[in-house]
Structure 1
């Protein structure tokens, strides 16, 4: 499994609207091929900074399948107006086996 972590900086005063947009977009992610979960975290120290964490079966499920879908276009329509800067995205995999 791959975890996509997107650091997202939100325009001041848009926090509530951004959180609502992400909530509305959750079914778009969960309905996407290869998506296994989604979570949103807000920074305590920087209240306009969020980390969107999405679990994918493979990197390609995110970078090729989802990003070419109508679900992705709708996600950007919902959340994009609240971005202060383009999200910083990286993909990670676990190296710690419990």
Structure 2
């Protein structure tokens, strides 16, 4: 499994709207081939900063399959207007787990 971590900066004052947009977008992620889980985390120190964490079977399930899908277009239409900057995305995998 691969975890996509997207750091997303939101326009100040739009946090609640962004969270609602992500809630509406989650079914589009979960319907995507290879998607296992979606979590949204908000920074305590930087309240307009979020980390969206999505578990994928492979990197390609995110970068090829999902990004070419209608689900991705819906995600960006819902959440994109709240972005203060393009998301910073990386993919990680576990090397040590209990």
| TM-score of Structure 1 vs Structure 2, range by shorter chain | over 0.9
Gapped runs of 5+ residues in structure 1? none
Q: Where does residue 75 of structure 1 map in the other structure? A: 75
Q: What TM-score results when the alignment is normalised by the length of structure 2?
A: 0.99
Partners of 1:23 and 1:60 lie apart in 2 by 24
**In the alignment, does 2:61 pair up with 1:61?**
yes
The alignment covers a number of residue pairs equal to: 98
Q: What TM-score results when the alignment is normalised by the length of structure 1?
A: 0.99
Q: Deviations over 1:18-38 (max 9, x none)?
A: 000000001000000000000
Partners of 2:69 and 2:51 lie apart in 1 by 22
Gapped runs of 5+ residues in structure 2? none
CA RMSD of aligned residues (A): 0.5
**In the alignment, does 2:31 pair up with 1:31?**
yes
